[in-house]
């Protein structure tokens, strides 16, 4: 319920104020890095999301967000710690690998089409040059899938997040990507045009 209230306040504030200041108040500790890359950073966590391709190409069931995470304290983060909240307050879990695999024609095409607009989120973790990949999703032949990753101040963990639209396409608007685990919470806006 707090996420629903946050999104309602976000929508109202952005319409009324229409300023970057309103977004700063609703998404503290965030910094935009271009049209579709955003970073959250506080004393506990750094969370970066880039969605250049999906920002303008979201008329299918799949949304791709490139992400990276590091934390000051060591923790094991499970896939269910990451969710997307829609503009109307609905909470969506990451898609499952089985759903991703069942729709392989579309998911493969999404990955191929997005290749030209990839944004290297690794570059935001300059203290951690040897980041690892989290493997929540894999195309056939790309290895095994895991449901968790270990992260700390010495390692950034990077990878692709896929969400599946319940209605078959994504509406324009401001979504909220949330990572919440063991008392650590990061939230960034994802703006689909």
pLDDT given for residue 18 in this prediction = 46
Cβ contacts of 172 within 8 Å, gap of 6 or more: 192, 193
Count of the separate structural domains present in the chain: 1
143 by Cβ neighbours in 10 Å (0-12 / 13-18 / 19+) ranks as exposed
pLDDT above 70: residue 62: yes
Query: Which residue segment(s) compose the domain that 90 sits in?
Result: 28-192
On whether residue 4 sits in a domain, the answer given is: no
CATH assignment of the domain containing 147: 2.60.40
Contact by Cβ (8 Å): 24, 30: yes
pLDDT given for residue 23 in this prediction = 56
Q: Determine which helix (DSSP H) or strand (DSSP E) holds 12, and give its type and residue range.
A: helix 2-17
On whether residue 38 sits in a domain, the answer given is: yes
On whether residue 22 sits in a domain, the answer given is: no
On whether residue 8 sits in a domain, the answer given is: no
On whether residue 6 sits in a domain, the answer given is: no
On whether residue 173 sits in a domain, the answer given is: yes
Note the pTM of the prediction, 2 decimals: 0.83
Which range among 39-43, 83-87, 125-129, 167-171 shows the weakest confidence by mean pLDDT?
125-129
- Output the CA torsion 32→14→117→30 (10° steps): 20
Mean pLDDT value across residues 45-74:
91
On whether residue 7 sits in a domain, the answer given is: no
pLDDT per residue over 71-119, tens digit each?
999 999 899 999 999 999 999 999 988 888 888 889 888 889 888 888 8
On whether residue 19 sits in a domain, the answer given is: no
């Amino acid at each position: 319920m707090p996420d629903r209230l946050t999104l309602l306040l976000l929508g109202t504030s952005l319409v009324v104020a229409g300023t970057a200041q309103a977004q700063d108040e609703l998404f503290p500790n965030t910094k935009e890095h271009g049209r579709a890359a955003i970073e959250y950073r506080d004393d506990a966590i750094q969370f970066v999301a880039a969605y250049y391709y999906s920002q303008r190409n979201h008329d299918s069931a799949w949304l791709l967000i490139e992400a990276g995470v590091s934390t000051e304290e060591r923790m094991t983060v499970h896939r269910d710690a990451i969710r997307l909240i829609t503009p109307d307050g609905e909470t969506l879990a990451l898609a499952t690998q089985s759903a991703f695999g069942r729709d392989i024609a579309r998911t493969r095409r999404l990955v191929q089409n997005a290749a030209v607009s990839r944004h290297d989120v690794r570059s935001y973790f300059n203290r951690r040059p040897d980041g690892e990949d989290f493997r929540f999703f894999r195309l056939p032949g790309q290895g095994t899938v895991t449901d968790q990753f270990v992260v700390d101040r010495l390692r950034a963990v990077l990878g692709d997040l896929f969400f599946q639209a319940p209605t078959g396409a994504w509406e324009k608007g401001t979504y909220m990507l949330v990572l919440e685990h063991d008392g650590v919470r990061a939230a960034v806006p994802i703006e689909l045009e």
